[in-house]
């Protein structure tokens, strides 16, 4: 006799995400479900394997499950390895994303080092494989950077990873000799992810290595500000701001020879009015480059506040911002939960031990789906009413003239 299993469609879990876990599922239900997903990573169907990987990743991003995964880390690592080696683009992306969240759960230590030791060479191979899908290589670059940030204990391995990522994004440098504007290619997204992962790892390098990298890239990176891809321009600008911060941290009298030329480029991007660029891109770019220009010229950083539960964190430097952005990209909406509960992330951002919340406090913080729906509906009605009034005023002015 055949029977229908709830595991036959793990994609439903991936779509529902953490909300289902928080509101409907108990710890036992969640662990039972996860055991099923781990089994499904061996399924013959690539779609089911991918959905199972995404389901596990969503669970680990939305809940601390250290004890559960500690017992099954070898099984999980084997599943990720198999999917990275044999899977196609989407499955490889799901496997790489799970690898990084697995390391975030485990934190620094021998367990995450073993995960990186097994998966690192495979991630590196995919990143450098010109025949692999660009999207898979891009995700692997991001996740490899995060895994190394957490787990690498070998300085030579850290330097090797930096070199691997450098070999990818520096391919954009070559084009600068031929033209004033660097045209984007399908590889641009890969170059951006590699640059951002490289910058993240630079923040944990010894001073001598940082100095060496600054000498190699400080005068070449600004050429990429002329890229026609807005995300490349922003990634390069933010990386330059972080490099200046590191350089000035090592030497308060740090002098950059091409400062005038660089500030001209940054100012142009902060006030860009090119008609051939999309309005959304220009608005986004101008906002970011105003901050970058202030950082380079005035050594200033506009402090940002991140609220999570009853706590708040102040992002007051480029290193902290870049680190926060890197982990936010991997954890998504689970970032706030991990800032509250994950000891590793709390150590990274110097938040101290997790704050213990009693049941009453948790209840006041939690908003039900129905309440959230009512709140969103009220906000939508208020916005619609305001727009209608604004239109009525414009109509009255038009009739008057």
Tokens of 246: 């590191």
Residue 80 · residue 99 · CB < 8 Å? yes
Residue 87 · residue 52 · CB < 8 Å? no
pLDDT digits (tens, 9 = 90+) for 6-61: 444 554 444 444 444 444 458 888 899 999 999 999 999 999 999 999 999 999 99
pLDDT of residue 6: 43
State the pLDDT confidence band at 185, using cuts at 50, 70 and 90.
confident
Across the chain, mean pLDDT equals: 85
Residue 277 · residue 231 · CB < 8 Å? no
Closest by CA position to 38, among listed 48, 24, 25, 27: 48
| Proportion of the chain above pLDDT 70, given as a percent | 79
Summary count for the chain: helices (H), strands (E): 19, 2
Task: State how far the Cα of 26 lies from the Cα of 104, in Å rounded to an integer.
Answer: 22
pLDDT of residue 321: 96
Q: Is the dihedral of CA 105, 109, 115, 120 positive or negative?
A: positive
Verdict on whether the full-model pTM lies above 0.95: no
**Cβ-based neighbour number of residue 218 at 10 Å:** 17
pLDDT of residue 175: 55
Closest by CA position to 235, among listed 125, 329, 120: 329
For 57-71, 124-138, 173-187, which range has the lowest pLDDT when averaged over its residues?
A: 173-187
Closest by CA position to 184, among listed 219, 222, 238, 224: 224
């Amino acid at each position: 006799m055949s029977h229908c299993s709830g595991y036959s469609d793990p994609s439903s879990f991936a779509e529902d995400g953490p909300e289902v876990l928080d509101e409907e599922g108990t710890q036992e239900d969640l662990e039972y479900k996860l055991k099923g997903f781990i089994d499904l990573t061996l399924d013959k169907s690539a779609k089911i394997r991918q959905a199972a990987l995404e389901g596990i990743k969503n669970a680990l991003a939305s809940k601390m499950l250290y004890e559960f995964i500690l017992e099954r880390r070898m099984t999980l690592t084997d599943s990720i390895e198999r999917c990275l080696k044999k899977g196609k683009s989407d499955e490889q992306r799901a496997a790489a994303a799970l690898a990084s969240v697995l390391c975030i759960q485990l934190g620094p230590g021998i367990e995450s080092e073993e995960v990186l030791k097994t998966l690192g060479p495979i991630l590196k191979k995919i990143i450098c494989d010109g025949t692999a899908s660009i999207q898979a290589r891009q995700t692997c670059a991001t996740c490899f950077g995060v895994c190394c940030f957490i787990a690498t204990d070998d300085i030579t391995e850290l330097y090797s990873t930096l070199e691997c990522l450098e070999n990818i994004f520096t391919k954009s440098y070559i084009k600068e000799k031929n033209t004033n504007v660097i045209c984007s290619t399908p590889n641009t997204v890969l170059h951006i992810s590699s640059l951002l992962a490289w910058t993240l790892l630079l923040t944990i390098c010894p001073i001598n290595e940082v100095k060496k990298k600054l000498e190699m890239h400080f005068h070449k990176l600004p050429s990429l500000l002329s890229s026609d891809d807005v995300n490349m321009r922003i990634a390069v600008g933010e990386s330059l701001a972080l490099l200046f911060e590191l350089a000035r941290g090592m030497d308060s009298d740090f002098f950059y020879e091409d400062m005038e030329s660089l500030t001209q480029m940054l100012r142009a991007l902060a006030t860009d009015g090119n008609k051939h660029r999309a309005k959304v891109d220009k608005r986004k770019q101008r906002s970011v480059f105003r901050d970058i220009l202030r950082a380079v010229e005035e050594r200033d950083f506009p402090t940002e506040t991140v609220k999570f539960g009853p706590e708040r964190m102040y992002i007051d430097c480029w290193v902290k911002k870049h680190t926060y952005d890197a982990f936010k990209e991997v954890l998504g909406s689970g970032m706030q939960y991990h800032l509250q509960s994950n000891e590793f992330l709390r150590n990274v951002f110097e938040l101290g031990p997790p704050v213990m919340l009693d049941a009453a406090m948790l209840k006041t913080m939690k908003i039900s789906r129905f309440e959230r729906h009512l709140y969103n509906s009220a906000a939508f009605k208020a916005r619609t009413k305001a727009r209608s009034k604004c239109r009525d005023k414009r109509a009255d002015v038009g009739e008057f003239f």
